[in-house]
Structure 1
Amino acid sequence: MAARKSLVHPVLFSTYFGVPAEAFALSKLLDPILNSDTKLFIDPLLLWKSQHPLIMRKGRSAVEVNFQNVIGLLDISRAEGDVAWRGAYKALNLDERAETSLGYGAAGTSGSSRPPALRHSILRTAKEIITLGEKNPTMIPLMGLFETGVGPDTLSDMTTNFLLPTLAEITEDFCITNDVPVKAFGEYYGNRKLPENPFHPGSPVILVPRDLLRDLPLAADWTDVSRVILEVREIREAVNRMFGNFAKATIAQKKAAIRRAAFSSPTLLRKLIDAVALASESYDEKADLDGYYQFRKILSEDPEPFRGRLVAPPSKDATTLLETVKEIMKQFQEMVEDNNMWELLWNGNIARHERASQLLFFAVANVMCAVNNVDISPETNSGGGPVDFKFSSGYRGRVLVEIKLSTGSVVHGYKTQLEIYKKASRSADAIFVIMDIGKMGRKLWTIEKLKRDAEARGERASDIIVIDAHRQRSASKR
């Protein structure tokens, strides 16, 4: 996978190609960020629930045929490495797909091939399942249940490879309808004419229906997997016999236990496949707990409300950089606390995840700097790891911003995480932001004491800002 870099100035497909955001809403396609991957994945189990016409008419059968081809070849294989096995190996395409801008690639979308050992491992497990008499093609997407090396990106890319001609047709149709410039990219993409990614010349952009996407494919999401599997009484009992406390097991231990239980009986295997296949649901874009759609909303809306909120500083040095970042944070705090932006951090009575707060700040900071011609840019590593922000462009010095929910690991974030980031970035200045949604307890008191103690030792401590992000009553009810 490509090395993760910092993302600066995220560019939406709709913005670059001048497509109204409403067109993506009507088409039910994800508006991708052209210069970064979004941490959503295609879940193969959602193919059979998708309401997109082309997925229903062509995509499902295309994936099913490819899965069935792998199974058929394995079924007639008599030994690893024989002709049939090699055919199955070739048919099981796990190459990473950069064209969809999905997954863990962060800035500079991903794209490479996975090690041969992983393919062979998946094939061996599939062969075991076939030997038990199970030849349903839906078993292939469930390999994440049994194999430690099969993660959400593997499952997503595997499905994308089989689905690519259909996704290319969906993309071509959308672009023709919305006057997006396209060009031919060859037989690999079904000879469809597709838009070129301006950040990756020579590579097309592939659009994906939103109802195929999850924050993690179910077979890789062990929070959901544990719940679904343990609802099947026979599997729960078998696993408990092998593992006293399944909830406290590591992922590798859980996979081993599930594998032993399921492979002990064709009946249990069938119940496992059916239970997991039925449970998969697409990412809830209305709840949007990770803030992916709120992020796009801020980036694509009229920037006028942000104009005049920031003034370019007269000089460019470490001191003025810190002052400017504090002013950005002050404006963000005002918008959250006084201008109803807190609403973007809640879905009804449920607080959105920490990532939603981080992405909201990132979007606001980007738009605010751009519309006011302020020559600094927030950067973030938006891949699978922690999200932190670094302000530095055009200035001598760096300022880090770390955002935590009050319900989360506030003390660890201030005491350990932020200091690690500061050392890695060679930054002396940092701002630690707590989005207060409740359950603060003594966390604020603890980190304020850590700050005072560090300053008493003559050390440069990170600033602390608390933003009130509680749900508020409307003005008429106050």
Structure 2
Amino acid sequence: MPSRVYFSDYFGVNEDDLDSYGALNICLVSDLPLFVDPFLLFQSEKEEYHDLHDSIIKYLGFLKDHSALARQDKGLLKEWFFFGEVKENWLGFTFLGNGGRGLGEKFALSLSSHLSTILDSERDSVHLEHVRLLDKGVGRDSVSDLTTNLIKKYILEYTQEFALRHIHESKRRKCGVGRVEFDYETRAWRSRTYDLPFFGPRNQHVLLTPLDILARDETWINRDDLLRNFDRVVESCDDETLRGRMNHYFSKKLMEARSAEPRTEAIEATLRRFPELYALYMATKEREGDAAERRSRDSVEYVQAVFVSQIRRIIAELESRTDFYGHVPDSYEEALKRVQAFKNYVENQDGYRVINRKGKPFSDEMEVQLFFGLIWYGTTFDVNREPNNGRGPVDFKVSYGRGDKALVELKLASNTSLEQNLRNQVRIYEKANQTDKSIKVIIFYNEQQERKLMKVLKKLDLENQENVVIVDARSDNKPSASTA
């Protein structure tokens, strides 16, 4: 049933029990856009979190001591440096699913090459996120995946304790889990057996994650933040002579820069020349650590409000007020019916409030697409998020068997590439997916965006087309002259 999208609903758990336990009410249909930030373990006042952070650093120390050996032996490199995604926590970037890529050879080699710098003996504290400062190809999802793998024993015990207290034994099972705990004597990962909640035809187990180690945006320590605050980091250097040398070198490199982003080029050159700037930056982030906890609370509250509470409310309203979850015999009709129901909900039933972020419009199409995708749960059709069939990913493909399929492309009117997308992109997707049936959904939030959108539609002769659905999500929700 559509109403069983979330952990509490599926397992018959009181939400108050989840809240008091401090766990996220995960979605069992799609990953939620949250990530584990190891800095929150470091910053926390909980002793158990400090122990977890110390265990991460201990393992990094082992990797440092044995990295040369691992680079010579592919098997050891795979055993010690490769990690799969812990998809059972339902966190991350995957839409309408929970399957990710995990941490393969590229990440393993990057980590091994930077371990000596990360574990600088002159620093009192060490942060896993340091690898993100040294390699711009390492993202927050990689740091989150590695952290989750290295604290997996804690997450498993945390989930098992809740399950034994609150979940009926008919919805739990004992299962063996691999790579739970590293044995430093045998230099190998051990498996363990846990009594965990499970669901679905494949008996997939589920893991709960504490709210207070989650963040929605970047990890607290990250490269973009360092670049933005470079001047402040330099000024934090107590050594006046060294500070002067840093500023002089940066100014020189800025004058010599030839790239499209001269400031970034000059900063990166200065970081290479003065690697002690990394330590200064991390010390600054440690001093401001309380803000990391506040940001984490705000971001988690936002995700819970928008992607849990409001989605659940919408699903309940659509079930009770409409035939949104009814079956129709054609994928295009099914998709168009749901898109029109979504439009009606936003424009006429105060639904515009839920696709605005704290009174402001969604600025990220991924958020709107996730929101829209979640309310499709329960359809008898096969709905895939961004299937890539040779010419790039489309937002949604709706199908019923091999020959019956339609595409849904959802965009914000503020998208700078909107005209190009409407002219070319969907046609390319249609060809790649072997269908001529597609629907374009375009959301606008103010009159300026509406005027821009109508101008583009007129230019492309797409006005008053059935398969071009315009959604008025203005916060004042005034009647719009737009038609769909």
Give the TM-score of the pair, scaled to structure 1.
0.75
Answer with 226-235 or 171-180: which moved more: 226-235
| 1:42 matches 2:36 | yes
CA contact (8 A) 2:197 2:205 kept: yes
| 1:61 matches 2:51 | yes
Provide Cα deviations, 1:36-71, integer angstroms capped at 9, x if missing partner.
4333221111223457xxxx2323312323313423
**What residue in structure 2 maps to residue 123 of structure 1?**
112
Distance 1:395 1:300 in 2: 31
Secondary structure in 1 aligned to 2:411?
strand
Letter in 2 for 1:400: L
Alignment of 1:83-122 (within 5 A): 94-110=83-99, 114-116=103-105, 118-122=107-111
Answer with 413-422 or 299-308: which moved more: 299-308
CA contact (8 A) 2:394 2:407 kept: no
Secondary structure in 2 aligned to 1:18?
coil
CA distance 1:332–1:395, shift in 2 (3 Å): farther
Answer with 164-173 or 40-49: which moved more: 40-49
**What residue in structure 2 maps to residue 415 of structure 1?**
423
Distance 2:260 2:118 in 1: 27
Q: 1:448 aligns with which of 457, 460, 463?
A: 457
Secondary structure in 2 aligned to 1:183?
strand
Alpha-carbon distance, 1:159 to partner: 0.6
**What residue in structure 1 maps to residue 61 of structure 2?**
71
CA contact (8 A) 2:83 2:102 kept: yes
**What residue in structure 2 maps to residue 362 of structure 1?**
373
Distance 1:85 1:316 in 2: 56
| 1:147 matches 2:138 | no
| 1:432 matches 2:440 | yes
Alpha-carbon distance, 1:205 to partner: 1.8
| 1:284 matches 2:274 | no
Distance 1:419 1:472 in 2: 34
Provide Cα deviations, 1:184-221, integer angstroms capped at 9, x if missing partner.
334755654222353654x5322112232223442786
Distance 1:351 1:295 in 2: 15
Alpha-carbon distance, 1:183 to partner: 3.1
Secondary structure in 1 aligned to 2:212?
helix
Secondary structure in 2 aligned to 1:402?
strand
Provide Cα deviations, 1:403-454, integer angstroms capped at 9, x if missing partner.
2222223323322333333233223122222212023165323432344289
Structure 2 portions without partners, runs of 5+: 181-191, 236-242, 479-484
| 1:469 matches 2:456 | no
Distance 1:259 1:431 in 2: 44
**What residue in structure 2 maps to residue 193 of structure 1?**
195
Alignment of 1:363-378 (within 5 A): 363-366=374-377, 369=379, 375-376=380-381, 378=383
Distance 1:164 1:326 in 2: 43
Letter in 2 for 1:402: E
| 1:380 matches 2:385 | yes
CA contact (8 A) 1:144 1:150 kept: yes
Q: 1:337 aligns with which of 320, 342, 347?
A: 347
CA distance 1:260–1:272, shift in 2 (3 Å): farther
CA contact (8 A) 1:183 1:193 kept: yes
The structure whose residues are more often strand, as a share, is 2
Alignment of 1:7-406 (within 5 A): 11-50=5-44, 56-71=46-61, 74=64, 80-81=68-69, 94-110=83-99, 114-116=103-105, 118-130=107-119, 133-136=121-124, 138-181=126-169, 182-186=172-176, 189=180, 191-198=193-200, 200-201=202-203, 204-218=205-219, 223-234=224-235, 237=247, 241-243=252-254, 249=261, 261-262=270-271, 264-265=273-274, 267-277=276-286, 278=289, 280=292, 281-282=295-296, 284-285=298-299, 288=302, 293-301=305-313, 303=316, 305-307=318-320, 309-310=322-323, 316-317=329-330, 321-353=331-363, 354-366=365-377, 369=379, 375-376=380-381, 378-381=383-386, 388-393=395-400, 397-406=404-413
Secondary structure in 2 aligned to 1:159?
helix
Alpha-carbon distance, 1:398 to partner: 2.5
Answer with 96-105 or 300-309: which moved more: 300-309
CA contact (8 A) 2:411 2:443 kept: yes
Secondary structure in 1 aligned to 2:87?
coil
Secondary structure in 1 aligned to 2:85?
coil
Alpha-carbon distance, 1:260 to partner: 5.0
CA contact (8 A) 1:336 1:468 kept: yes
Coordinate RMSD, CA, aligned:
4.3
CA distance 1:304–1:334, shift in 2 (3 Å): closer
CA contact (8 A) 1:63 1:159 kept: no
Letter in 2 for 1:337: E
CA contact (8 A) 1:316 1:394 kept: no
CA contact (8 A) 2:462 2:468 kept: no
CA contact (8 A) 2:158 2:208 kept: yes
Distance 2:73 2:251 in 1: 35
Distance 1:382 1:412 in 2: 20
**What residue in structure 2 maps to residue 5 of structure 1?**
none
CA contact (8 A) 1:35 1:108 kept: yes
Structure 1 portions without partners, runs of 5+: 1-7, 370-374, 456-460
Distance 1:32 1:149 in 2: 28
What is the aligned length?
439
